[in-house]
Structure 1
């Protein structure tokens, strides 16, 4: 990486990267989060492209927790002296694991990296895995936020999505979360489902709002490669219907006090997901578990992305390495890497965050920024980097201005 080096010649990237000065060491490291991937599900959903695998009758909890802690040990040298601001258990279905196993894991993590006093710890769960006693125990461990995968409350839509729960279980899950002591929880809800009408979508949204979650992730079903739906596409609503759903749904959410702060994230005041905000503001995160990704900044200016072995059997094999690969981001790659996260935020970010998180001068964005502003995709605002309403809709087009 280029730090403590003489000024470099002006470099114009192919699509708008202008480097007028070398990268400088980072004077302040960003907040640090931990992502823990638990890859097993009761059943793989046909739309899911996450690293998830159908669970066997008995999960290797003890062995997997041992592996997670050993994996974390190998990353500790890069985060010495820092504390965790958030932890996120993702999957798969992390709620398949017992409270005992998760407790041992959290104890092991805290023994290695200090927790911030106000740490946010989120656990993903599905309604079909809710057990009142288990969730009370999770709360006692210090897990203070749940993310519940509802997707729909309508039986025919749940069946089309391959979900194992029904609408009644979805409603009960939210109540059980609150009874277990969770006053902060997210509901995941999808729209643009097979044969879904505007009324169907709004009915789901009204039901979700009635359960009074502090946060809603409301996003459109997309067909991803390497999924059953990709190979056998269901019939999805027409574009006009999708647009009507998006407009009416956003108005309904705003009416009930849910502010959109990211492309598909809506929250009550003060309840935005801190873990995800850290991702989107180009913060740091350690990723442990099968297929987990990480991104860590170093004081000398290096920013390194890592990814772990995907298959659980390989991840649990002592003869194989936890880490499958790593990449140090180049100065030319950083504008795109930073903006593909930051521009997901509805209000964008303060322009000063760019040099603070990348070690690059703000004017390294000038060529791409001017083109994006001229196209009407980026706001003309010197002190902020934020997409316009149109830019939010065509985010990929906006980001093309910052590709090398």
Structure 2
């Protein structure tokens, strides 16, 4: 049934693996480094090789968005970011209104570069604040202060960034409801166009996993979530994904492409990609690049660490783990176009979930219900079991 498959939009994720310090909660592919020791030129050259290798996977599509993640992408000078964008444009090409996001730390060192990033082609900034309270920043291992964060956001606005995200965490060690709402109020006062507000989770292979901090009780976490969402809503931001809130028409287009099961090239150490290949009988592939920076930069080592097809059996779960995070409905037609499967392949699961009240259906459209959102993992498990 793969003849149903269509090519979705194409994004690019660029992974910058270095940071000044590894935070105790972080399980991303990040590696502490002195900013002056980062091999910038070698990285840009290897990136170009990576891009040229993956370019045929674009299959004639222009790039709709680029996201520089990490690590701390703002450790790279603006010249290097500009060289990467120039390479992407010359090898594949951009949509005229492509969204270009750079993650940045709010330290003085990075903030001084904001104007240069804007001139290099970055048009959206995502600032990793996490908290405005110094005592929580200390526990989280962050190297900036609350005042640094406020000043960095103001600096970003002053140099022309009118599309700005603030990353903020809640459920921090010994955090109260008042503490969490104080962070949110400070963020809202700075008027970002987008908020990423998510709960701290303890991941394996982190310092917090080895030495767990005293997290708030479950009842407190629930109260923080409910009070915080009410505050965000009252400030004019709408929730369009589990932890993403935006002003009108200011959703992150790059992340929307992920959640709508679009395609993306993953470039840089450890970067993941997802590509639809119509020239290979409707194959959908997942890729991952060589993880360690020293191996990625070694021209004698392969760039691709993993490439595997998403089987037809696995495609429903692969699709829904993204799309059911969204608040907006998904169409059965979209499911067929993006997976190459028929709606009949998922009818039993949809019937069962609707009977439980975990999804809502109207004609061709369906979405996760309010109760389904609370049990999203259980909803997704319907495509991992025989139910």
Instruction: Give TM-score, length-normalised by structure 2.
Output: 0.97
Structure 1 position 288 matched with structure 2 position 279: no
SS of the residue aligned with 1:379? strand
Q: Which has the higher contact order (CA 8 A, sep 6+)?
A: 1
Within 2, Cα distance between the matches of 1:385 and 1:222? 29
User: Partner of 2:7 in structure 1?
Assistant: 29
Within 1, Cα distance between the matches of 2:194 and 2:203? 25
Structure 1 position 340 matched with structure 2 position 321: yes
User: Partner of 1:46 in structure 2?
Assistant: 24
Structure 1 position 375 matched with structure 2 position 356: yes
User: Partner of 1:5 in structure 2?
Assistant: none
User: Partner of 1:143 in structure 2?
Assistant: 122
User: Partner of 2:166 in structure 1?
Assistant: 187
Bigger mean CA offset, 42-51 vs 298-307? 298-307
Within 1, Cα distance between the matches of 2:45 and 2:356? 51
Structure 1 position 97 matched with structure 2 position 99: no
Match of 1:352 among 314, 333, 338: 333
- Whether the aligned pair in 1 keeps the contact of 2:12 and 2:63 (CA below 8 Å) is yes
Match of 2:33 among 34, 51, 55: 55
Give the drift of 1:132: 4.7
- Whether the aligned pair in 2 keeps the contact of 1:96 and 1:129 (CA below 8 Å) is no
Within 2, Cα distance between the matches of 1:397 and 1:149? 30
Within 2, Cα distance between the matches of 1:143 and 1:233? 37
User: Partner of 2:181 in structure 1?
Assistant: 202
Give the drift of 1:383: 2.2
Give the drift of 1:273: 0.2
Match of 2:300 among 319, 329, 337: 319
Within 2, Cα distance between the matches of 1:60 and 1:382? 54
SS of the residue aligned with 1:296? strand
Question: How many residues matched?
Answer: 382
Match of 1:245 among 205, 212, 224: 224
| 1:337-376 CA-partner distances (Å, limit 9, x unpaired) | 0000000001232222100111111121111111222222
| Residues 280 and 314 of structure 1: CA distance in aligned 2, closer, same or farther (over 3 Å) | same
Match of 1:365 among 332, 346, 350: 346
| 1:215-250 CA-partner distances (Å, limit 9, x unpaired) | 000000000111111111101001111111111111
User: Partner of 1:108 in structure 2?
Assistant: 87
- Whether the aligned pair in 1 keeps the contact of 2:72 and 2:105 (CA below 8 Å) is yes
User: Partner of 2:310 in structure 1?
Assistant: 329
Structure 2 unaligned spans of 5+: none
- Whether the aligned pair in 1 keeps the contact of 2:238 and 2:247 (CA below 8 Å) is yes
- Whether the aligned pair in 2 keeps the contact of 1:343 and 1:385 (CA below 8 Å) is no
Structure 1 position 163 matched with structure 2 position 142: yes
| 1:236-295 CA-partner distances (Å, limit 9, x unpaired) | 001111111111111101101000000000000000000000000000000000000000
| 1:88-132 CA-partner distances (Å, limit 9, x unpaired) | 000000000001111111111111011000000000001125545
User: Partner of 1:232 in structure 2?
Assistant: 211
| Residues 237 and 45 of structure 1: CA distance in aligned 2, closer, same or farther (over 3 Å) | same
User: Partner of 2:66 in structure 1?
Assistant: 87
| Residues 132 and 54 of structure 1: CA distance in aligned 2, closer, same or farther (over 3 Å) | closer
User: Partner of 1:153 in structure 2?
Assistant: 132
Within 2, Cα distance between the matches of 1:88 and 1:129? 22
Give the drift of 1:394: 1.5
Within 1, Cα distance between the matches of 2:10 and 2:54? 13
Within 1, Cα distance between the matches of 2:108 and 2:338? 39
Match of 2:283 among 291, 298, 302: 302
Within 2, Cα distance between the matches of 1:70 and 1:277? 28
Bigger mean CA offset, 373-382 vs 184-193? 373-382
Structure 1 unaligned spans of 5+: 1-21
- Whether the aligned pair in 2 keeps the contact of 1:354 and 1:360 (CA below 8 Å) is yes
| 1:147-166 CA-partner distances (Å, limit 9, x unpaired) | 00000000111011000000
